[in-house]
Amino acid sequence: MAVNQVPFVWNPNTTAPTQELNVNFLNIVNCLAILGGTEFTPAEITSDQNNYSTVDSDGKNAGVLRLSSDASRTITGLANGEANRFLYLINVGSNDIVLANQSASSTAANRIITGTGASLTMEADDVSFLYYDSTTARWRVISFSDALWG
């Protein structure tokens, strides 16, 4: 599907089909590829992480990080932030990954603002979408997908 196409979607709450904007994960990943972000699956996280690297094995900025951990682990900050950078974090493992809100354990410019004032727990299959805000020099969680939404 081309990025500019709007698919035909049936809305069961109406008597006739309607056309709605259907932005799905695959289209967003394709857009990230166009913008230069890569998809990367780093090694399993085995301890809490301060200033966690967001580059792939070739040293390029990742657009999608597929994360897993051996137990519930906390990420206190993300390295490699730069103006207008977007990043998806996907928990592909079975253990929780916690994004700490404004943790002093990471360098100020690597800290995460979750938008809730508290840490954000990513359970298995949850996805977080972050934006690096160069004005505040922080990563901001701008979207969170809870796999349990149903």
DSSP 8-class letter at 65: E
What local confidence, expressed as pLDDT, does residue 146 receive?
Answer: 75
User: What topology does CATH give the domain 37-149?
Assistant: Jelly Rolls (2.60.120)
What local confidence, expressed as pLDDT, does residue 138 receive?
Answer: 98
How far is the C-alpha of 114 from the C-alpha of 67, rounded, in Å? Answer: 18
What local confidence, expressed as pLDDT, does residue 42 receive?
Answer: 97
User: Residue ranges per domain, the chain?
Assistant: 1-35, 37-149
Q: Could you give the dihedral angle defined by the CA atoms of residues 34, 143, 68 and 118, in that order, rounded to the nearest 10 degrees?
A: 150
What local confidence, expressed as pLDDT, does residue 27 receive?
Answer: 54
The total of other beta-carbon atoms located within 10 Å of residue 125's CB is: 14
Mean pLDDT by 10 residues, the chain (150 residues): 36 41 48 64 98 94 96 98 94 98 98 96 95 97 75
Q: Look up residue 22 and give its amino acid.
A: N
What local confidence, expressed as pLDDT, does residue 20 receive?
Answer: 40
What local confidence, expressed as pLDDT, does residue 16 receive?
Answer: 44
